[in-house]
Amino acid sequence: QKEVEQNSGPLSVPEGAIASLNCTYSDRVSQSFFWYRQYSGKSPELIMSIYSNGDKEDGRFTAQLNKASQYVSLLIRDSQPSDSATYLCAVMDSNYQLIWGAGTKLIIKP
Amino acid sequence: GAVVSQHPSRVICKSGTSVKIECRSLDFQATTMFWYRQFPKQSLMLMATSNEGSKATYEQGVEKDKFLINHASLTLSTLTVTSAHPEDSSFYICSAEGTGTRAEAFFGQGTRLTVV
C-alpha cells in the first residue's frame, strides 16, 4: 500500500526561527510532490509543488526533494504566528492520484 | 490558480434526512472531481472519484448507496449524504485536479455537516 508519512506534531517553533517539516513516501515512481497548508476548519491550500531533486524556493518557503531517499521537506524561514496551521504533504502516484499524509501541526510561538 | 466553489459551507440536518453538497469548477472544466471527508484532527480521506458522465469510483469502505455522487456536467459534481446519522458529521471537501504529472489539487471551501 502506498503511504505518505508525516510526524503529526505538534511542532513548536519560536517566531522568527526556521520551521522544518518532513515527509517520506513509499512509492518510488512518484514524480510530483506538494505541500498544502490547512487552517483549522478550512480547506487545504497549495503552498509549494516540487518535481525535481533539490531545492525550490518561493519567498519564505523552500521545498526540498530527495527521490533517492524518498524524502520531501518544507522549510519556513522567519516563521510568523500566521504560519501556525497543519501542513499536509501530498504525493502523486503512478495512477496520477494524490496520496495524502496525515499532516503536521505547526505552532509558531510569539 | 483554478477556482472551485463548494456549497453550502455549513449545514445542520436532522438524523434520517438527506443533504446535498455542490462542487463547481468556476473557471475550468473538470472531468474528474474528488470528494474527501475529514474528521477532526485527522487527515483527508478520499471517499470517491467523481467522473463526468459516468459512475463514481468509491474507495473501499465507502457506501455508494449512502454517499450518492452525480457528475452531470464538466463543472458540477454533487455529493448527497442520504439518511444521515450523527456519525456522518464531518468536514466534506471536494477538489478538482489538473491533468498530467504536474497536476495539483484545487479545493472547494469545504462543508461542515452536523447531523443532530
Residue type for position B26: L
- What is the model's pLDDT at position A93? 82
User: Using the beta-carbon criterion (under 8 Å), do B109 and A100 form an inter-chain contact?
Assistant: no
Higher per-residue pLDDT: B30 or B110: B110
- What is the model's pLDDT at position B54? 84
- pLDDT tens per residue, chain A (110 residues)? 778 999 988 999 999 999 999 999 998 888 899 999 999 889 999 999 999 999 999 999 999 999 999 999 999 999 999 999 999 999 988 777 788 899 999 999 99
The grid cell for A70 is 524518498
- What is the model's pLDDT at position B102? 57
- What is the model's pLDDT at position B14? 97
- What is the model's pLDDT at position A94? 78
- What is the model's pLDDT at position B5? 93
Give residues 54 to 83 of A whose Cβ lies within 8 Å of B: none
Higher per-residue pLDDT: B60 or A98: B60
The nearest alpha carbon in chain B to A91 belongs to: B104
Q: Which of A47, A52, A56 is nearest to A89 (CA)?
A: A47
Higher per-residue pLDDT: B101 or A74: A74
- What is the model's pLDDT at position B101? 55
Q: Closest Cα of chain A to B94: distance in Å?
A: 9
Whether the per-residue pLDDT at B106 is higher than 90: the answer is no
Given a contact cutoff of 8 angstroms between Cβ atoms, the answer to whether B98 and B104 are in contact is yes
Can you tell me the distance from the alpha carbon of A110 to that of A104, in angstroms, rounded to the nearest whole number?
A: 19
Which residues are CB-contacts of B79 (< 8 A; sequence separation ≥ 6)?
B20, B21, B23, B35, B47, B67, B68, B69, B92, B94
User: What is the rounded average pLDDT of the residues B33-56?
Assistant: 88
Residue A14 exposed, middle or buried by CB count within 10 Å (0-12, 13-18, 19+): exposed
Can you tell me the distance from the alpha carbon of A65 to that of A74, in angstroms, rounded to the nearest whole number?
A: 9
Q: List chain A residues with CB under 8 Å of B107.
A: 43-45
